[in-house]
Amino acid sequence: MAATTESVKTDAAEAPLLNIRNLVLGSLVYVLFYGWVRWYEGVYGWSAGLDSFAPEFETYWMNFLYIEFVLEVSTAGILWGYIWKSRDRKVMSITPREELRRHFTHWVWLVCYAWAIYYGASYFTEQDGTWHQTIVRDTDFTPSHIIEFYLSYPIYIITGGAAFLYAKTRLPAYQKGLPLQYLVSVVGPFMILPNVGLNEWGHTFWFMEELFVAPLHYGFVFFGWAALGVLGVVNIEVQSISKLLKKDLA
């Protein structure tokens, strides 16, 4: 019988290597939350998001913005603080099995990061293009920006930061120093958020929504390239996991 079809028995008392529940729940959080956000945009974008001087804009959109600011700062503080505070101070002494388990947990974080990047850089960013081609903006805080810049970007920053911190505080493979490509893949997309400052400042001079490829937007492009740093992360992970499994796969 081929090795791939042999049954795998796990110790009943032992925690599973990959926590499928966390993987599914983590993914569902992004998909369901952003599904709800898209519903909210569909309903309140048209009914309350066309005129930023209208009272309903304040009610449905500016309040949404204020709430997300508070939630994002507190989520980042609590999550990153927790991961750092609960770090393993003897990370180089863990057993190989525990190390493997942590790699799986790290990959649960990376899968969440993938969802977050997809929604931020792909779904809500291109959506912003079609919104601007439909509605003349009269504020930096248009409905599409309140979702794209100030919700989906902070969420992938928080998720990416959490994945990085998890790797740095719990995995022996990341104790050699700061993994440059990992840093690039987290900090680069993070820089897209400060680049919003340049973007909005530019838009106070020029009405440029008619041209999505305008050079004013190239800052987003440059920092978007940093997502390719995930290639380096994959390579670090493959090296580490191969080392753990090499003997058993030989």
Partner 1 sequence: MSASQSAVRSRAEAVKVSRTFDWLILFTLFFVVLGGYHIHYMLTGGDWDFWTDWKDRRLWVTVAPIVSITFPAAVQACLWWRYRLPFGAVVCILGLLLGEWINRYLNFWGWTYFPVNFCFPSNLFPGAIVLDAVLLLTGSMTVTAVLGGMAYGLLFYPGNWPIIAPLHVPVEYNGMVMTLADLQGYHYVRTGTPEYIRMVEKGTLRTFGKDVAPVSAFFSAFVSILIYFLWHFFGQWFASTKFVEAA
Of residues 114-143, those binding partner 1 (CB under 8 A) = 114-115, 117-118, 120-123, 125-127, 129-136
When the beta carbons of 57 and 106 are compared against partner 1, the nearer one is 106
- C-alpha 65/C-alpha 9 separation (Å) is 50
CB 74 to partner 1: min, Å: 25
Residues 12-41 that bind partner 1 (CB under 8 A): 17-18, 38, 41
In Å, how far are 43, 230, 245 from 113, measured between CA atoms?
A: 28, 10, 25
Distance of alpha carbon 155 from its chain centroid, rounded?
5
- Judged by CB under 8 A, which of 28, 97, 197, 206 binds partner 1? 97
Interface mask toward partner 1 for 166-195; x: CB under 8 A: ------x---xxxxxx-xxx---x--x---
Encoded tokens for 132? 């601007």
161 lines the binding site for partner 1 (CB under 8 A)? no
In angstroms, the Cα distances linking 210 to 157, 162, 207, 214, 229 are 28, 37, 8, 9, 31
| Cα–Cα distance for residue pair 65/49, rounded to 1 Å | 13
Q: Closest approach of Cβ 109 to partner 1, in Å?
A: 10
Question: Of 56-64, 71-79, 81-89, 230-238, which segment contacts partner 1 by CB under 8 A?
Answer: 230-238
Looking at 50-58, 63-71, 78-86, 222-230, which segment touches partner 1 (CB under 8 A)?
222-230
Of residues 123, 171, 176, the one with CA closest to residue 151:
123
Cα separation, 207 vs 238, whole angstroms: 47
Nearest distance, CB of residue 202 and partner 1, angstroms: 13
Out of 146, 162, 167, 230, which residue is the one contacting partner 1 (CB under 8 A)? 230
The DSSP code for 52 is: T
The residue (of 6 and 85) whose beta carbon lies closer to partner 1 is 6
